[in-house]
A and B are shown apart, each in its own frame.
Chain A
């Protein structure tokens, strides 16, 4: 993985000192609260419902065991003994004190981490495929691009006062696990007909109140022109994005209101005027960064492991874990694993300090010291030898980290919702917990198969409900929490937005409604179709019909009870 050189180190250290000065200037009155707010946000510090929250960047979701151990230390010394992984591959601490923030940032800098631009109206942490570098279906590793963008976007003099936040994602695989179509900029690594490397660039995707799928504005951009082209996009957005209404300020609205064609023309116009070679990274720099992501020294191993195969025959739990959470690796004899942070009844994405320490050890012992964070709030061990899997499984199990539900109905994404978030209109974590309990039975989960459920506690959509195969949106209606259900959302290369099934329902009815939807799927399913494939084939109608009768049954039952 990438390692800081003296410049990166100095940048992060100076930035911590700068923030220390800013806090002092807030306290002595030089900065007003309004002026201080964006400064603290750009250093990852939010004011939540009950306390400050510090959001730490995990660049493109890659972390070392050493870094995770440091996070455990911070969780223990400055928070309540746990951290929370987010849908942007970041980590949040929900209870730090303002006075401790500089000390925490120092501890982060000690392990080459920071909280820069994890919030505020600026370019946020660039995200990438969590299986970068190891996925069998990958054509090119997106991490060097993401790292280049991390550096370039850090404290960019021109683009830290944007109309609104700005998110970039990169993928280099056929199957899009980075959800690039719902990002402000989505980059797909590709090759042109001549075989030269470059990017397909889409702009204007996003969720939130007005969900939109990004539009391709450049079919092919040569790889070495990236920074100049992104600068052109950013300049057009910074100059023309709406500032009169914060709900219309994202670039998706600009693209929508000006039209994709006209927007593209303006970007190309700007691009033609700027002096690309003075902006782009020199080839040596691109190579320097890429070298950090070269494949590790893999051992020469047979593709199949006799040890693992026989252990799987003897241990049904291990067998199920490998089947569900294992992920095909580029390298023969190796396998990657999703480590679920969604135990039934737990808080999606939470990890205790003890688990972090244990997992840091596990990553060092079994995965070359590296782990990844996924945007579905899970972790990944990218470099596991198949021969080691039985031992790894035993250790994961000992720490409550062997839940075999990756991608299943209980692997739910939920935003913090009313438990933490000041903007929330409804709970989301408790809803996730109730659904997980309803479907806790392993055999049943397996029968249902892949079914990503995503829950947001308000229309800001941090839980990405629009792109959940089943999406749940918590609102407030007449003083009660009310949940809208959508189906058919998808964040992959088949990106689509979910469709509403009917009226909103009470929180206590959500698990029942999900059961009704799942039954409909199992009834309609053909062959080995997944939930989303069935929805794509039959459409939403059968689900709407079943949902309507569910709602009616529930209201009759309620009347009878009264």
Chain B
């Protein structure tokens, strides 16, 4: 796997676990949501692996004990993860949000704008679309219309600011 953030490739600290035993022995386990609801994970804070159709309320119960939530993308064209990320941020999750799956570089900017911090890419994908491509595609658009998405000001906000400045 390759982890890509807005700044470039990042090391991965988390190991996916499948059983309670594995969860106990791993230093930084990435625990599937179903398992996390059943057992006490000792290594707090840990990572939570959630399917893209998981109810937000269910995930939110674990907020206090996790520092990373990985949302799975079964396919790049399945956009549910974007809405889930948006909702998790709204519910107050402040840790790392990871998009896990075969996303394409062309989705990077959108993923970041919806609240993700990083993408966990299968190696086959990372070979075809190396980190450099992700960083280039991220910056292919410098303006966006939607307020409340991404870091910079939206076009609507920039217009408003320009108007105020002109009025002074």
Contact = CB atoms under 8 A, between A and B. Distances in A.
Contact of A21 (B104, B114, B140, B155): B140
A159 interface: yes
Give the interface residue-count category, chain B. 35 or more
A100 interface: no
Contacts of B146: 152, 156-157, 279
A157 B156 contact: no
A278 B114 CA distance: 15
A243 B83 contact: no
Contact of A278 (B109, B113, B147, B159): B147
Interface of B: 53, 76-80, 82-84, 86-87, 90, 104-107, 109-110, 113-114, 128-129, 133, 136-137, 140-150, 155-156, 158-160, 163
Contacts of A18: 137, 140-141
A33 to B, nearest CB: 12
B140 to A, nearest CB: 4
A310 interface: no
A445 interface: no
Chain A interface size band reads: 35 or more
Contact of B83 (A17, A30, A239): A239
Given A239-B84, A284-B163, A285-B159, A155 B144 contact: yes
A21 B144 CA distance: 19
Given A161-B82, A284-B159, 8 more contacts: A11-B141, A11-B144, A21-B137, A31-B106, A31-B129, A156-B149, A157-B146, A238-B80
A31 B104 contact: yes
A158 B145 contact: no
A13 to B, nearest CB: 10
A161 B149 contact: no
A553 to B, nearest CB: 51
A248 B87 CA distance: 25
Given A14-B142, A284-B160, A157 B114 contact: yes
A288 B142 CA distance: 22
Contacts of B110: 157-158, 160
The 9 nearest A-B residue pairs measured at CB? A161-B79, A157-B113, A157-B110, A18-B140, A7-B155, A239-B83, A151-B145, A158-B82, A238-B83
Interface of A: 5, 7-8, 10-11, 14-15, 17-18, 21-22, 25, 29-32, 35, 38-39, 121, 151-152, 154-162, 235, 238-239, 243, 273-275, 278-282, 284-285, 288
Contacts of B159: 5, 7, 284-285, 288
A22 B133 CA distance: 11
Nearest to B128: A30
Contact of A282 (B53, B109, B149, B156): B156
Nearest to A152: B145
